[in-house]
């Protein structure tokens, strides 16, 4: 029986830090408001030369190093991003070139914040079917390029960064690695969070190049409520699918969108808060990069030991949502 194990993790955050106090100087907001409503204290902002592929390549190299796998051994690169370098070719192809993954296929997937869980789910199928051995899944975003820096209700939330995992095939009957993934979408809720204008829509083809047209718009309050509901549901589904109860969970690595959303879900799941990994205060919402960055940090902090049962959960634009259970 083929299992899909996480053999290595890596992450990369741009150097530039933008604090809530910096934002106070340019917007009608306050550190106190941002901190209490979201849990965010600061976020990272990509430098001029740092696109999603650049951040992704840094994270990918670290993940390969930690997995002790050479780039040439990769079969597929899946890059999860909503902020691709260009419309095409895929940003994954730039990463492939950058890291020298000469034998892999490479493609992007778009599921916004849920991208990484979707990416894991795709990798899981390729590996468990026996088709491929090594799959690199990366989440990488330069959200700072698509936020409206005059809109205080959204720009305070987002940050830039990248995280990556190498998934590897293991033949064993032991339940280990990615035990299951559960992904969902509801296009009826597409207007909750969106970058409403894009190149493929006729009405903006003539206005192409106007950066104001390419900004995140979000109904924060409505998103908050549906996020709590959907993540709670999908986590319960993931646990039940694996015959686990809440006491069996050693660590929860949630998407870092809003500390209050995480708290609300964890309260409903009745899992102790000490079992939850949080780094939103440092990076804000890095969208598809959020979970792999958190997994990498949790690993380096010694929070993930062999045998650890980890639950990951996410919600994002689409609406998309998902969860996965991993046994290390």
| Distances, alpha carbon 68 to alpha carbons 35, 62, 266, in Å | 39, 10, 35
| Smallest distance from ligand ACO to CB 75, Å | 29
Q: Which of 2, 33, 107, 328 binds ligand ACO (CB under 6 A)?
A: 33
Burial class (CB in 10 A: 0-12, 13-18, 19+), 24: middle
Site for ligand ACO in 235-264 (CB under 6 A): 257-258, 261
Q: Which of 51, 144, 223, 232 binds ligand ACO (CB under 6 A)?
A: 223
Q: How far is CA 286 from the centre of its chain?
A: 7
How many residues sit close enough to ligand ACO to count as binding (CB under 6 A)? 24
Q: Which of 91, 96, 232, 287 binds ligand ACO (CB under 6 A)?
A: 287
Report the largest interatomic distance among the alpha carbons of the chain, rounded to a whole angstrom. 57
CA dist 102 and 5 (Å) reads 22
Q: Which of 80, 38, 23, 19 has the alpha carbon at shortest distance from 227? A: 38
| Smallest distance from ligand ACO to CB 29, Å | 3
Q: Which of 161, 117, 138 has the alpha carbon at shortest distance from 63? A: 138
Nearer to ligand ACO, 19 or 242 (CB): 19
Half-sphere exposure of 12 (CA within 13 A, CB side): 24
Q: Does 317 bind ligand ACO (CB under 6 A)?
A: yes
The set of catalytic residues is 113, 255, 285
**Binding marks (x or -) toward ligand ACO, 85..114, rule CB under 6 A?**
---------------------------xx-
Nearer to ligand ACO, 63 or 227 (CB): 227
Around Cβ 188, how many Cβ atoms within 10 Å? 8
Interacting residues with ligand ACO (CB under 6 A): 29, 33-34, 37-38, 112-113, 152-153, 156, 193, 220-221, 223-224, 227, 257-258, 261, 285, 287, 315-317
């Amino acid at each position: 029986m083929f299992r899909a194990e996480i053999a290595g993790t890596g992450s990369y955050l741009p150097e530039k830090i933008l604090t809530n106090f910096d934002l106070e100087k340019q917007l009608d907001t306050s550190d106190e408001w941002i901190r209490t409503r979201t849990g965010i204290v600061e976020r990272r902002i990509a430098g001029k030369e740092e696109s999603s592929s650049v951040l992704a390549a840094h994270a990918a190299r670290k993940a390969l190093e930690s997995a002790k796998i050479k780039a040439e051994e990769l079969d597929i690169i899946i890059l999860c991003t909503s902020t691709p370098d260009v419309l095409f070719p895929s940003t994954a192809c730039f990463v492939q070139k950058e890291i020298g993954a000469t034998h892999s296929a490479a493609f992007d997937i778009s599921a916004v914040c849920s991208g990484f869980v979707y990416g894991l789910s795709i990798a899981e199928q390729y590996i468990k079917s026996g088709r491929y051995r090594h799959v690199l899944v990366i989440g990488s975003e330069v959200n700072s390029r698509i936020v409206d820096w005059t809109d205080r209700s959204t720009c305070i939330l987002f940050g830039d960064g990248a995280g990556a995992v190498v998934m590897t095939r293991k033949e064993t009957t032991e339940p280990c690695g990615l035990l299951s993934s559960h992904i969902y979408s509801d296009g009826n809720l597409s207007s909750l969070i969106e970058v409403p204008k894009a190149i493929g829509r006729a009405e903006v083809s003539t206005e192409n190049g106007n950066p104001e047209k390419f900004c995140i718009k979000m109904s924060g309050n409505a998103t908050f409520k549906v996020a709590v509901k959907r993540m709670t549901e999908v986590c319960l589904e993931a646990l039940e699918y694996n015959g686990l109860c809440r006491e069996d969970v050693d660590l929860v690595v949630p998407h870092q969108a809003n500390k209050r959303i995480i708290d609300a879900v964890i309260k409903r799941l009745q899992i102790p808060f000490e079992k939850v990994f949080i780094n939103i205060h440092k990076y804000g919402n890095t969208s598809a990069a959020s979970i792999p960055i958190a997994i990498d940090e949790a690993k380096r902090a010694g929070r993930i030991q062999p045998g650890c049962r980890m639950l990951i959960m996410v919600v994002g634009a689409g609406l998309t949502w998902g969860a996965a259970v991993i046994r290390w």
